[in-house]
Amino acid sequence: MSLSTWDIGTATGKFTGFEHYSYLLHDPIFWGAIKNVIYISAVAIPLEVVLGFSIALLVNKTFQDRGGFINSLLAIPMVTAPVVAGLFWRWLLDPNLGIINYLLNQVYLQLPSWKSSPFWARNMVAMVAIWKHTPFVILVMYAGLQSLPKDCLEAAIVDGARAFQRLWYVVIPLLKRLFLFVFVIRAADVIKSFDEVYVLTGGGPGSSTETPSMFSYNTAFTYLHMDRGSASGILYLSLSLVFIVLFIRMMYLREKEEF
């Protein structure tokens, strides 16, 4: 379908080669969707990792006997349906009825233009992503902390390493592969995100929060260019695979050099 001019009425197509791919590669909105997910990923994923790892350390140290129960409570946002999460935050951030703007108003802070400003709209999407997906990082990191070899930590204590030194030189290096796993999985999640963004902003204002999935959806089902929408899906998939393979390869080579 991506290699033809597709007629929806007759469900037939005329072969046109890579015409749609050429059009998309020169389309600023196509590249704008990629810039949007890069921005959201750059804001959300590092904060998710820092918060998730910190909370996992706290749970592992403070609630050793009840870690499973605490993690179950913390995982509630993660298991919430994306549409429900989007509606929940849309109500919280409503300029007239939302409790967040009400609280900001009580402390005399300027109310952000959540939906009319491209900057605040992108950060709103990033904030919801942090709330929803930090529990995933917590669960992964908690499992990693539980599986750390005790002899390495005990040897560090015997050698006089302080808590921060043990964390920086022992714990984090041992969990390097988990950090890589989290970054790759979350990057793929952001690239294919649709439900939450669609409910929160609809891709607006303009196309400032439109993700690749939303671009393909709008192209195919809103503007009825099924052929061009198919081409965009294949291009986004190809770009995602290239990014993930290069990222894993880079981490693998760095790890190989260290050893």
Mean pLDDT of 96-104: 84
Q: What percent of the chain is modeled with pLDDT above 90? A: 37
The pairs formed by 84-90 with CB atoms below 8 angstroms and a separation of 24 or more are 85/128, 85/131, 85/132, 85/196, 86/128, 86/195, 86/196, 86/197, 86/198, 86/199, 86/200, 87/199, 89/124, 89/127, 89/128, 89/131, 89/196, 89/200, 90/199, 90/200
Structural domains present in the chain: 27-211 (1.10.3720.10)
Phi, psi of 211 (to 5 degrees): -95, 165
Tell me the average pLDDT of the chain. Answer: 87
For 226-257, the pLDDT digits (tens) are 999 999 999 999 988 888 788 778 777 666 65
Sign of CA dihedral 40, 42, 43, 44: positive
pLDDT reading at 31 higher than 90: yes
pTM: 0.88
pLDDT reading at 258 higher than 60: no
Amino acid type, 38: I
User: Furthest-apart CA pair in the chain: how many Å?
Assistant: 76
Amino acid type, 18: F
Window from 16-20, 33-37, 92-96, 207-211 with minimum mean pLDDT: 92-96
Confidence at residue 133, expressed as pLDDT on a 0 to 100 scale = 93
Confidence at residue 67, expressed as pLDDT on a 0 to 100 scale = 63
Q: How far apart are CA 29 and CA 23, in angstroms?
A: 11
Residues in the chain, total: 259
pLDDT reading at 107 higher than 90: no
DSSP string computed for 53-78: HHHHHHHHHH-SSSHHHHHHHHTHHH
pLDDT band at 8 (very low <50, low <70, confident <90, very high): confident
Confidence at residue 101, expressed as pLDDT on a 0 to 100 scale = 83
Higher-confidence position of 127 and 259: 127
Mean pLDDT of 21-27: 93
Cis peptide upstream of residue 112 (ω within 30 degrees of 0): no
Q: How far apart are CA 90 and CA 193, in angstroms?
A: 16
Higher-confidence position of 109 and 212: 212
